Copies of this chain bind each other. A is one copy, B any other.
């Protein structure tokens, strides 16, 4: 399918989608509730690169931290590797979300990031963002909020990983994806999963087989329909019940 958000990349008009002020994600991205003039200043430091192809690596664990990345379209997975080489997926990130927030900790990225499908991102050089946010309080606030949200969303994930059944974990992930689609006025009940079963499993602290079995069970119970990565949520109430640790 064509990447609508990027059809304007080539021409130089001022009113194309290639500026924060016209980006349809400005309502949920870093520019949120900034003045127009401030958005333009942010816009000036943001670098729009060419789209990443599926499988392309955006950055690797250990890379110098220079920028954070706002996802314009597509999907990215981030992960860490333990000393023993085991990987742990730390998140799936969709349009409007910002990644690289682990960088300021040590000035090196601790996660790696890879496109799960064709994905375009805005790179926001961090030192420039830092100095701009010193001058634009609203931007400073948004930046801190971004980091803090990452903290709370990870903490919410603790609950899943710590105390939830396999059904609950899978249901929670599906609902989270669903909700994030809805924010973009996309269908909350029908969408395609950007990641493999194995990725879901890793993220959820399960095995691939368990995730597959949960999918089968949910289909048998008419809660979802899954054909490969195409997902339809048939009974969102039931899914919510599952996500909240009932049986």
A interface, CB within 8 angstroms of B = 80, 82-84, 86, 88, 90, 101-106, 110-111, 130-131, 133-135, 137, 140-141, 143-145, 147-152, 154-159, 161-163, 202-205, 244-245
Contacts and interface: CB of A to CB of B under 8 A. Distances in A.
A24 to B, nearest CB: 23
Contact of A245 (B86, B102, B111, B245): B86
A147 B140 CA distance: 13
Given A102-B155, A110-B152, A152-B102, A144 B130 contact: yes
A128 to B, nearest CB: 13
A132 B146 CA distance: 20
A105 B161 contact: no
12 contacts: A80-B155, A80-B159, A86-B163, A88-B159, A88-B162, A90-B158, A102-B148, A104-B148, A105-B148, A105-B149, A144-B144, A162-B204
Given A156-B80, A205-B161, A140 B130 contact: yes
Given A130-B144, A159-B88, A151 B154 contact: yes
Nearest to A109: B152
Number of copies: 2
Given A130-B144, A144-B143, A155 B90 contact: yes
A88 B158 contact: yes
Nearest to A129: B144
B161 A162 contact: yes
Contacts of A143: 144
Nearest to A141: B130
A31 B80 CA distance: 30
A84 B143 CA distance: 31
Contacts of A80: 155-156, 158-159
Those 5 A-B pairs whose CB atoms lie nearest each other, nearest first: A162-B205, A161-B161, A104-B148, A105-B148, A147-B147
Nearest to A135: B134
A148 B147 contact: yes
A86 B162 CA distance: 11
A4 to B, nearest CB: 30
Given A134-B134, A205-B161, A83 B147 contact: no
Contacts of A105: 145, 148-149, 151-152
B162 A202 contact: yes
A231 to B, nearest CB: 23
A151 B88 contact: no
